[in-house]
Amino acid sequence: MSTPLTVIGLGPMGRAMVEKFLDHGHPTTVWNRTASRADGLVARGARRAATPQEALDASRLVILSLTDYDAMHDVLDGAVVAGKTIVNLSSDTPGKTLRAAAWLAERGAELLVGGVMAPAPLVGEPAAYVFYSGPREVFEAHRETLAVIGRPDHLGEDHSLAQLFYQAQLDYFLTALAGVVHSLALVGAAGVPAARFAPYLKENVESIAMYLDEAIADIDRGRYPGDLADIVMMGATADHVVGAGEEAGVDVVLPAAVRALYRRAVEAGHGRDNWAALYEVVKPPAG
Ligand code: NDP
């Protein structure tokens, strides 16, 4: 029989996961702070728990899909968690994640940390993968069950690793999405519909991957040859992007932050290096 499990937290992600677990025949117990969010899942065969404790008692494997780790404490404080494997798929900082691992260990529960790299509609689809960290034997024991929601990728025993990789992916993703909105607002302020500019923007987005291998090699070597395009030139362009935004009356907080990085890189002596040398001013100061 498929492993029974509990899912706590029925936002878009939790609901998508429960649907996949039900499709794969896992007896699934659910609990959500706002009880009505479970209605559709109960109609499909999930079992509704009346309290977090009832949800915990129903299965050894307990999956959390909550807004953050504070929500985990709101739900689990005061509950008996001993003997449970808690798979927390909620976003938060690596530091909070480590503290949660210690908190659960003190109470006799094991934590597997997960970072789901897929939006709700893609949960359980071939493109979905999930970073995990925590005890390998716990991960291996549940690998097959966890594969239902996305390809499981165990990064190591250190609980914070999955959260670190997840946040690093989101660091890029959120910044890139904000850049897309900014670019469209700039042309939009001149009356250009987003759809008219979109084909060019899409080519730009797709071309980013082309620059990665070289930049990664430069970062690993700590050398940034800037013969074709250097930081002085790109910093001047960053000035122009801010200027264009100011002329258009759009918010310039994002391009101004980018400009600040280029200026600091020039001040630090990287003017003749390529853009990947921004890494040197972003990384923590030595010592
Ligand atoms: P939501 O934030 O919409 O929902 C999360 C759930 O957390 C809800 O069930 C909510 O309950 C519950 N919750 C929040 N605070 C508390 C609290 N203090 N006590 C009890 N329950 C609480 O998130 P999503 O479902 O969209 O996402 C879940 C996690 O997955 C998040 O950490 C998110 O960053 C991550 N994620 C989301 C993706 C997405 O595309 N949505 C993609 C990848 C990861 P209630 O219904 O009562 O409000």
What pLDDT does residue 1 have? 74
- Whether pTM exceeds 0.90: yes
Phi and psi, residue 147, nearest 5°:
-65, -15
Q: Are strands 61-64 and 47-48 parallel, antiparallel or unpaired?
A: unpaired
ipTM above 0.90, yes or no: yes
Give the closest residue to 276 by CA, choosing from 243, 240, 239, 228. Answer: 228
Atom of ligand 1 nearest to the CA of 90: 32
Task: Answer yes or no: is the C-beta of 174 below 6 A from any ligand 1 atom.
Answer: no
What span, in angstroms and rounded, lies between the C-alpha atoms of 271 and 263? 9
Ligand 1: which of 67, 93, 177 to mutate, most ligand atoms within 8 Å of CB? 67
Name residues of the chain where pLDDT drops below 50.
Answer: none
- With H, G, I as helix, E, B as strand and everything else as coil, classify residue 48: strand
Output the CA 42–ligand 1 centroid distance in Å.
19
What span, in angstroms and rounded, lies between the C-alpha atoms of 281 and 136? 36
What pLDDT does residue 286 have? 85
